[in-house]
Amino acid sequence: MSISEMVVPYGDPRPPFHRKSAFDVGDYGLGYCANSLLLGCDCLGAIKYFDATFNDHNGQPTCIKNAVCLHEEDAGLLWKHTEYRTGKVSVTRSRALIISFVVTVVNYEYAVYWTFYQDGTINFQIKATGELSTNIFADGEEQAGYGTIVAEGIIGQFHQHMFAVRLDTMIDGLRNTVSTVDVEPLEGEFGSKDNPYGQGFRVREGRLANSAESRTSVSPATSRIWKISNDSEINPITKRPTAWKLIPMNSAPLMAKQGSLIRARAGFAEHSVWVTKQNDEHLFAAGFYVNQSRGGDGLPSWISTEDNIIDEDVVLWHTFGVTHIPRVEDFPVMPVETCGFTLKPNCFFTANPALDVPPSSKEVNKSKLVNCH
């Protein structure tokens, strides 16, 4: 699992602002921008740090100390039930294992978190913070409506943060299949034979047969998720293939129009999900040389071969992001703006995998009752 590319296009159409569209992976190099983390500031608790070694422009090794943080923290409820007949309460709190790093790309900071929970859930979050990219305007100058006045004479321009992650899946083995899963109301109207009370709904699953067909996008109206399954491994309870599911969280549509250079170079942002056959050369969603690209590199070119992706060694690419309409509260340094996605086991286990997590108690968590009087 890796961040493959990101683009930050700005929405002001007037020159020179039409050129603002940073590719923070393919242009700046996200890893090169990693912070050296500080104990007790960037993450709390029992910390294990990892250094990161890169090459400089002369090909010589250079090290960023404490670039990656590994730690655990309390993550709230894991599961709970109160038996209403007896009043007996069963409650278990969750511990999360978090791998994180923070990068500074000119004005913005991106804090990146891979969080692993005891029920098998994997959550990915990016928290954008730092400083807005602003421009000034003269007294009396009329504003065109492409930004927010965040201070006297200063505008924070409308923009987007679009991220692409590369998920090289291996669900119970190398050969996987990806499907869209949509929840839809039954076609029959209220009073009909098939839906007499009007409340019926069912799940529709559609397998993505080839890489070109895999280009799919979020569908809030049908609560769409994507399922990655292994046909050769059958869950003994459901009698269906074992699987995990991708749950989208933030999926802003790319605002740049067809024909624009931004949209051509950031083709990966046109859809929420793409699926390709695994290829060691296919690492970056916008291609290797994004600064020289005239468009069409990366995912748009890879899916043109229409490779079979049923029961294959596949890579799932997920694009998500936020459309940032700045607030006065974002200036001069903005609070975090969060986006991401979740992966969950979906009929992969035979029961709740967190049943063996010890129940919570005040002896363990050291909670104290505060007397406010």
- Residues in Cβ contact with 80 at an 8 Å cutoff, skipping those fewer than 6 apart: 89, 90, 91, 92
Task: Please answer whether residues 331 and 132 qualify as being in contact, where contact means their C-beta atoms are separated by less than 8 angstroms.
Answer: yes
Angle at alpha carbon of residue 164, lines to 27 and 42, rounded to 5°: 80
Largest CA distance in the chain: 74
Task: Please answer whether residues 101 and 302 qualify as being in contact, where contact means their C-beta atoms are separated by less than 8 angstroms.
Answer: no
Q: In this structure, which amino acid lies at residue 6?
A: M
Task: Please answer whether residues 309 and 276 qualify as being in contact, where contact means their C-beta atoms are separated by less than 8 angstroms.
Answer: yes
Please identify every residue annotated as catalytic. Answer: 24, 108
Residues in the chain: 373
Residue 80's Cα: distance from chain center in Å? 27
Indicate if the alpha-carbon torsion angle 3, 263, 149, 138 is positive or negative.
Answer: positive
Q: And the tokens for 261?
A: 């250079």
Q: Could you tell me which residues are beta bridge partners of residue 251?
A: 321
Q: In this structure, which amino acid lies at residue 340?
A: G
Strand ranges across the sheet with 2-9: 21-23, 2-9, 159-167, 314-324, 273-277
